[in-house]
Amino acid sequence: MAEIPPGGFAAPKGIPEYVGPEFTAVRDTLVREADRAGYAHLELPVFEDTALYARGVGESTDVVSKEMYTFADRGGRTVTLRPEGTAGVVRSVIEHGLDRGTLPVKLRYAGPFFRYERPQAGRYRQLQQVGIEAIGVDDPALDAEVLAVADAGFRALGLTGYRLEITSLGDATTRPEYRATLQAFLEKLDLDEDTRQRARINPLRVLDDKRLEVREQLADAPLMRDHLSDSAAAHHRKVLGYLDELGVAYTENPWMVRGLDYYTKTTFEFVHDGLGSQSGIGGGGRYDGLMAELGGQALSGVGFGIGVDRTLMACHAEGLEVAPARRVEVFGVPLGESARDHLVGVVGALRRGGIRADLAYGGRGLKGAMKAADRSGARYALVLGERDLASGVVQLKDLTDGTQTEVPLDGAVAAVDRALGA
């Protein structure tokens, strides 16, 4: 990182910044696939009542216990910068009565989320996500749709080096019996007190422990897949069958435990091995009890959150170009004040016609203006001098091969359009 000059400022630690079109290209591609499946946009608050996350996400999770940005506002209320999207979406559905209409309620969101992490590549304190939620229907076909939307987004970007890992975390009849079985197993292990406490609150979270000394002891741990109820097992088989119909490849991973407490039944993660330890590029699952937990109807839901930051990193790992290399297509080069006055209007007309165009501002000379044109990535430059202006013409210069054509000034927009379409 460059040294900060005395009196200067830098972005907060762990906050990435994006310049140029790559980030928006990735985000907008993921959003577009959600739009195609009928998910309506929801603009979520950046902060919520802290209790929403404590109750909805789970107090035993690392997100709530260690990672949230929580503070008291000037009215003495405890609020938290949003660490994830699902709880906020469910709160919004309940608050605005969206569940009283046609079901499922299908919503999408995009934007920054905040977690106090130890900053490293792919793990940021301000992370960018695109998410979708489908609430109100417990249908395995809907689970498969959610997975297919994410898969389509990755494919649309050109990604190939990722895989979908999927499992089932059971239902209300499965979880109590399995929880007791897993707790009995964990009680026999040599665990530190913090891990034992985690096992008492939510034993599934222990299966997600990354420490080698714990992983070795978990080798023979009972797995949820061997304790599924008949209905949960049937639901899982249906989901896999629909994924086969949709052409979405998957790998079953019975060890998977997501970091949030609300998941039930279908649970999944998209993984890209080109990213090292931070390999997850998106994930999600079904949350059958969350809406009732937050004060709404006992309706089911399913959704995902995709990390835009990590998806962009995956594109880089595969050498993909996800945005046009050209910032603009045409660059105006005025030589003199009168020429600038005319090119301002021409550039405006180009933009109205859907052509990306820019102009050399600040009275630069020919050499400086042409350097700016080259840096913009433009294919063509419109060079207008005083003599051209007097003759009613402008020079259309191809910046690829250096050839130059004289075109009527009042026909410049049409000439550019023809040149770009050639």
- One pLDDT digit (tens) per residue for the chain, 422 residues: 456 666 688 889 999 999 888 999 999 999 999 999 999 999 999 999 999 998 888 766 777 778 899 999 999 999 999 999 999 999 999 999 999 999 999 999 999 999 998 888 888 999 999 999 999 999 999 999 999 999 999 999 999 999 999 999 888 888 788 888 988 999 989 889 888 888 887 787 788 777 888 888 988 888 888 889 999 999 999 999 999 999 999 999 988 876 556 788 999 999 999 998 789 999 999 999 899 999 999 999 999 999 999 999 999 999 998 887 678 999 999 999 999 999 999 999 999 999 999 999 998 899 999 999 999 999 999 999 999 999 999 999 999 999 999 999 999 999 999 999 86
Question: Among residues 353, 373, 349, 374, which one has the least CA distance to residue 361?
Answer: 373
CA distance 196 to 349: 68
| Strand-by-strand arrangement of the 70-72 sheet | 47-49, 78-81, 70-72
Which CATH homologous superfamily contains domain 22-174+228-317? Bira Bifunctional Protein; Domain 2 (3.30.930.10)
Q: What is the CATH number of domain 330-421?
A: 3.40.50.800
Residue with tokens 């594109």: 315
pLDDT at 77: 93
CA distance 173 to 213: 32
Residue range(s) occupied by CATH 3.30.930.10 in the chain:
22-174+228-317
Long-range contacts of 214-222 (CB under 8 A, 24+ apart): 214/189, 217/189, 217/190, 217/191, 218/189, 220/185, 221/182, 221/185, 221/186, 222/178, 222/181, 222/182, 222/185
Beta bridge partners of 8: none
Read off the tokens for 26.
């990735």
Which residue type is seen at 391?
Answer: S
pLDDT at 197: 84
CA distance 148 to 326: 31
pLDDT at 3: 61
pLDDT at 172: 83
The vertex-18 CA angle with 14 and 22, nearest 5°, equals: 135
Residue range(s) occupied by CATH 3.40.50.800 in the chain:
330-421
Say if residues 356 and 327 touch (Cβ distance below 8 Å).
yes
The vertex-30 CA angle with 27 and 33, nearest 5°, equals: 145
pTM for the model: 0.87
CA distance 127 to 280: 13
Residue with tokens 């999770």: 61
Question: Among residues 232, 247, 259, which one has the least CA distance to residue 175?
Answer: 232
